[in-house]
Structure 1
Amino acid sequence: MQGFEQFVRLRYTELLHTAYLLTGSVVAAEDLVQTCLLKIMPRFDRIADPMPYLRRAMVNQRTSWWRALRRELLAADPPERAGPDPARDLADRTALVAELARLPERMRAVLVLRYWEDLSEAETAEILGCSVGTPKKR
Structure 2
Amino acid sequence: MSTAPDFDEWVAARGQPLLRLAYVLTGDPVEAEEIVEDALSRALPRWSRISRRHDPDASVRRLVVRAHVSRLRRFRRRHAPPPPPLELVATTGITIEVPDLIWPACGSLPRDQRTALVLCYYEGLSDEEIADLTGVRAGSVRSQISQGIAAVRAELAEL
- Indicate the TM-score class for this superposition, using the shorter chain for normalisation: 0.7 to 0.9
Q: Check if 1:62 corresponds to 2:68.
A: yes
CA deviations over 1:12-47 (Å, ceiling 9, x no partner): 111011100111111211121112101110101212
Q: Alpha carbon RMSD of aligned pairs, Å?
A: 2.6
Residues in 1 aligned to 2:137 and 2:75: alpha-carbon distance in whole angstroms: 26
CA deviations over 1:70-106 (Å, ceiling 9, x no partner): 3515431244557xx6x33xx21xx333222222222
Which structure 2 residue ranges, 5 or more long, are not aligned? 146-159
Query: Does structure 2 retain, via aligned residues, the 8 Å contact 1:52–1:127?
Result: no
What residue is the counterpart of 2:79 in the other structure?
Answer: 72
Number of aligned residue pairs: 131
Q: Who wins on radius of gyration, i.e. which is larger?
A: 2
Deviation at 1:115, TM superposition (A): 0.7
Which structure 1 residue ranges, 5 or more long, are not aligned? none
Structure 2 counterparts to residues 1-138 of structure 1, below 5 A: 3-47=6-50, 48=53, 49-66=55-72, 67-68=74-75, 70-72=77-79, 74-76=81-83, 77=85, 78-79=88-89, 80=93, 87-88=97-98, 91-92=99-100, 95-137=101-143, 138=145
Residues in 2 aligned to 1:121 and 1:69: alpha-carbon distance in whole angstroms: 22
Larger RCO: Structure 1 or Structure 2 (Cα < 8 Å, ≥ 6 residues apart)?
A: 1
Residues in 2 aligned to 1:69 and 1:135: alpha-carbon distance in whole angstroms: 17
Q: Mean alpha-carbon deviation: is it higher for 22-31 or for 116-125?
A: 116-125
Deviation at 1:131, TM superposition (A): 3.3
TM-score, scaled to structure 2: 0.67
